Amino acid sequence: MSERRPIVAANWKMHTTIGRAVDLAAEIKNGLADLEGVDAVLCPPFTALKSVGDLVRYSNVKLGAQTMHHECEGAYTGEISAGMLLDLGCEFVIIGHSERRRHCGESDELIASKVRAALAAGLKPIICVGETLEQREQGAAEEVVHAQLDGAMRGLASELSKIVLAYEPVWAIGTGRTATATEAQAAHFFIRKWARQRAGDRYSGELRIQYGGSVKPQNAAELFRQPDIDGGLIGGASLEAESFVRIVQAAAPEEQ
């Protein structure tokens, strides 16, 4: 078991009303009340951040947001800054999710700007990288992930302990198709090797890397047992409290 503290984050995407978000958060909070050794993070929609944040405050469940703007303030109608997220009690923020890259046109350059803004404000970014099925079948998976890492993390080697990386193969997100534990570990090993080349053993060893892509209670334990996988970024399965609680429990240190 790695000395890195596992982290499992729930990405609720554009789901839940405020009432449903609060009910779901309450169930998860109660289910994890006695669990130690894992960072459990809830990332509800912007509309529910305050309500969920109020509910989980002083508990062992942390609050995160699904995205943010790269400027600290200004004439950006509809956008949310890092400072606003901090004001709501957020500790984490997801940056560069494949759905933001695909649907909102987020480039590596923009993602890098968001990462820097998050770190400057005191937020911990969860930076997403991953290849499409077409890229994987062409044998370009490592090349794509390498470019995304370089784009998002340039000049930030000394900040790795404040950052979480999430490897999310796009072909496994919401499809029910999951990378095997062997495939996922190989990708995570590649990412940690990249970090070692950029920052050395100390910082690469501190870096937490999540797996995201159709993680369920049935496959979570096998994935989380891999030496370079430090938890998960969970989508659909996090919308069911019992399911998410079981996934978080699967990431807990074995001595529990």
Residue spans of the domains in the chain: they are: 7-241
Task: Give the pLDDT of residue 210.
Answer: 98
Q: State whether residue 81 is helix, strand or coil.
A: coil
* Residue reference for tokens 């997100």: 173
Task: Give the pLDDT of residue 161.
Answer: 86
Tell me if 61 sits within 8 A of 26, measured CB to CB.
no
Distances (CA, A) of 170 to 92, 133, 211: 22, 7, 11
Tell me if 166 sits within 8 A of 233, measured CB to CB.
yes
Give me the torsion for CA of 48, 54, 56, 58, rounded to 10°.
160
Other Cβ atoms within 10 Å of 77 Cβ, number: 4
b/e map of 33-62 (b: 16 or more CB within 10 Å)? eebeebbbbbbbbeebbeebbebbeeeebb
Catalytic residue among 97, 99, 106, 131: 97
With a CB cutoff of 8 Å and minimum separation 6, the contacts of 8 are: 38, 39, 40, 41, 210, 231, 232, 234, 244, 247, 248, 251
Alpha helix ranges (H) inside the chain:
18-31, 49-56, 82-87, 98-104, 108-121, 133-137, 141-153, 181-206, 217-224, 241-251
Task: Give the pLDDT of residue 1.
Answer: 43
**Catalytic: 69?**
no
Q: Could you list the mean pLDDT of each consecutive 10-residue stretch along the chain, which spans 256 residues?
A: 87 98 98 96 98 97 98 97 98 96 95 96 97 90 95 85 93 78 95 92 92 94 97 97 98 78
Residues paired with 132 in a beta bridge: none
Distance CA 39, CA 231 (A): 9
b/e map of 129-150 (b: 16 or more CB within 10 Å)? bbbbeebbeeeebbebbeebbe
Distance CA 188, CA 179 (A): 12
Distance CA 186, CA 177 (A): 17
**Catalytic: 3?**
no
Catalytic residue among 99, 106, 131, 168: 168
Closest CA to 132 of 19, 213, 65, 31: 213
- CATH class of the domain defined by 7-241: alpha beta
